[in-house]
């Protein structure tokens, strides 16, 4: 399926894409594992609804707080070393989750899990800036985030099956080991520069070289972190993260408690809903690249102007319907519609930051995960205070509408200033200053 969303499956850069695709599956299996196991964890550890919300959110807060420094380190250190560190760390704390014996230990473990996994997707995105020509970056991100949804789709039925055989703790041990295996192969195969990779042909290097704009790894000037355009990108992705984390955290519980499905049925339906989002994510990658070629950056990266409000409108229908089957089908439509814009969001960071994409995507994803951290808490408190599952869905619909408005205001043609830009300006400034000095001073 992955090859269907790329113009060709030959070349080292497409092996890199397969690595990224598998990584994203493993990442979201590890994340979604806890949402599927949440009813069993809640029962064994005696957790309240609000405590379950904090169990979900503490990971995301940690992930958000460490996202920018991790993205910056990916620009400075390179994706090979950075990604190996990230994967080994998060795999260790995925397995450690299965050892938790009370709420405090569970919170500490999930927080450290978030610290370790922070920067994973900015690091992968940074690797794309060196290995893929710009015309393929949208498709590459589409395939990458298709893997996240497929991982989320695979997790519920897998966790349910493992729980039936060996309990919820064993599922964390099994899934954590997958990341360690991936990390070993990544370290052996990947190189930060495609020119250093033995499997990259001269023809492929020429394609890559002509399709990228920068050869070096600059960092964003600190003043640019306060630029209006970057702030709008971050706020837009806050809304995307807020909406997505409902599907990632509370969805199985919602389907069971609000819609009356069994644990097995809820796990299967949650998987189907996330699978639908995965297909839409890959389609969105192709869509944004096509629109850019046809109409330019402003229109090509504006998929969310339509997709997010449409997703919110569908959620309003979900909140008002009493038919459980119709609600599940509409949730799949809402998730898929929202996921059409994910690739456009991430590719915007390449548009505005070039080879400093690790830092830019880290900044954007920080806000996305802050939204993702707040979302489960809103759901938990709303259900506990008002006893209603419709209220958080209505709130999420409003956030989706706001996302569309924010996307409309972003200018992806406006580049952020980087350290390389400063170096390019420096010789001109020095030369100008020297000409203004008296002859004696120049001598």
Q: Burial level of 165, CB count in 10 A (0-12/13-18/19+)? A: exposed
| Whether residue 428 has pLDDT greater than 50 | no
Q: How confident is the model at residue 397 (pLDDT cuts 50, 70, 90)?
A: very high
- Please report which confidence band the pLDDT of residue 419 belongs to, taking 50, 70 and 90 as the band edges: low
pLDDT bracket for residue 335 (50, 70, 90):
very high
Give me the chain's average pLDDT, please: 80
State what percent of residues in the chain have pLDDT above 90: 16
CB 17 within 8 A of CB 6: yes
Report the length, in residues, of the chain.
443
Q: Which two tokens stand for residue 297?
A: 């950056």
Question: What pLDDT does residue 224 have?
Answer: 58
Q: How far apart are CA 348 and CA 351, in angstroms?
A: 5
Q: Is the pLDDT of residue 401 over 90?
A: yes
**214 close to 420: Cβ distance less than 8 angstroms:** yes
Q: Does this model's pTM top 0.75?
A: no
Q: What angle do CA 418, 370, 83 make, to 5 degrees?
A: 60
pLDDT category of residue 393 using cuts at 50, 70 and 90: very high
Select, from the ranges 68-82, 143-157, 215-229, 372-386, the one with the highest average predicted confidence (pLDDT). Answer: 372-386
pLDDT value of position 49: 74
Q: Are 354 and 252 in contact (CB under 8 A)?
A: no
**With DSSP H G I counted as helix, E B as strand and the rest as coil, what are the percentages for the chain, rounded to 5?**
85, 0, 15
> Phi first, then psi: what are they for 268, rounded to 5°?
-65, -45
**Structure confidence by residue, pLDDT tens digits, 135-182:** 777 788 888 888 877 877 777 777 777 877 877 788 888 888 888 899
CA atoms within 13 A on the CB side of 199: 12
The pLDDT-based confidence of 225 (bands split at 50, 70, 90) is low
CB 199 within 8 A of CB 29: no
Cα(56)–Cα(107) distance, integer angstroms: 9
Residue 224 in tokens: 């640019």
| Of the ranges 248-257, 348-357, 389-398, the best mean pLDDT one | 389-398
CA 182 to CA 191: how far, in whole Å? 15
Task: Answer whether 184's CB lies under 8 Å from 80's CB.
Answer: no
**CB proximity list for 188: less than 8 A, separation 6 or greater:** none
Helix (H, G, I), strand (E, B) or coil at 199: coil
DSSP per residue over 8-34, as a string? -S-SHHHHHHHHHHHHHHHHHHHHHHH
DSSP-derived letter for residue 98 is: T
Mean pLDDT value across residues 329-340:
94
pLDDT tens for 18-36 read: 888 888 888 877 777 777 7
Structure tokens at 399: 């956030």
pLDDT the model gives residue 414 = 83
Find the mean pLDDT for residues 95-109: 86
> What's the whole-number mean pLDDT along residues 114-123?
82
- Cα distances from 415 to residues 26, 209, 280, 412, in angstroms, run 33, 20, 28, 7
Contact 419, 219 (CB under 8 A): yes
């Amino acid at each position: 399926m992955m090859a269907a969303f790329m113009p060709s499956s030959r070349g080292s850069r497409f092996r890199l894409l397969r690595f990224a695709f598998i990584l994203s599956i493993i990442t979201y299996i590890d994340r979604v594992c806890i949402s599927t196991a949440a009813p069993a964890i809640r029962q064994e550890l005696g957790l309240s609804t609000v405590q379950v919300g904090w169990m979900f959110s503490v990971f995301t807060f940690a992930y958000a707080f460490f996202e920018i420094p991790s993205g910056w380190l990916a620009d400075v250190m390179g994706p090979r070393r950075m990604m190996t560190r990230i994967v080994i760390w998060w795999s260790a704390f995925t397995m450690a989750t299965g050892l938790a014996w009370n709420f405090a230990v569970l919170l500490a473990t999930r927080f450290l899990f978030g610290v370790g996994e922070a920067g994973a997707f900015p690091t992968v995105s940074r690797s794309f800036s060196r290995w893929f020509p710009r015309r393929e970056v949208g498709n590459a991100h589409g395939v990458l985030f298709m893997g996240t949804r497929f991982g989320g789709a695979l997790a519920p039925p897998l966790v349910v099956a493992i729980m039936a055989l060996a309990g919820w703790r064993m599922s964390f041990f099994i899934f954590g080991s997958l990341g360690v295996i991936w990390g070993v192969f990544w370290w052996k195969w990947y190189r930060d520069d495609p020119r250093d990779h033995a499997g990259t042909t001269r023809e492929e290097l020429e394609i890559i070289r002509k399709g990228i704009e920068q050869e070096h790894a600059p960092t964003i000037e600190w003043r640019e972190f306060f630029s209006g355009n970057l702030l709008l990108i971050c706020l837009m992705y806050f809304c995307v993260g807020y909406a997505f984390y409902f599907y990632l955290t509370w969805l199985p519980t919602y389907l069971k408690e609000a819609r009356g499905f069994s644990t097995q049925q809820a796990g299967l339906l949650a998987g189907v809903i996330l699978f639908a989002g995965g297909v839409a994510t890959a389609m969105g990658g192709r869509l944004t690249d096509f629109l850019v070629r046809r109409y330019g950056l402003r229109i090509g990266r504006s998929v969310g102007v339509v997709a997010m409000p449409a997703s919110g409108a569908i959620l309003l229908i979900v909140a008002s319907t009493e038919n459980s089957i119709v609600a599940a089908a509409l949730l799949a439509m809402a998730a898929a519609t929202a996921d059409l814009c994910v690739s456009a969001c991430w590719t915007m960071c390449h548009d505005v930051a070039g080879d400093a994409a690790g830092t830019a995507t880290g900044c954007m994803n920080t806000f996305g995960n802050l939204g993702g951290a707040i979302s489960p808490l809103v759901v938990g408190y709303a259900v506990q205070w008002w006893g209603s599952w419709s209220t958080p869905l209505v709130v999420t619909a409003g956030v989706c509408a706001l996302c569309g408005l924010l996307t409309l205001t972003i200018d992806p043609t406006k580049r952020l200033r980087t350290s390389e830009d400063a170096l390019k300006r420096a010789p001109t400034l020095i030369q100008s200053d020297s000409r203004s000095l008296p002859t004696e001073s120049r001598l």
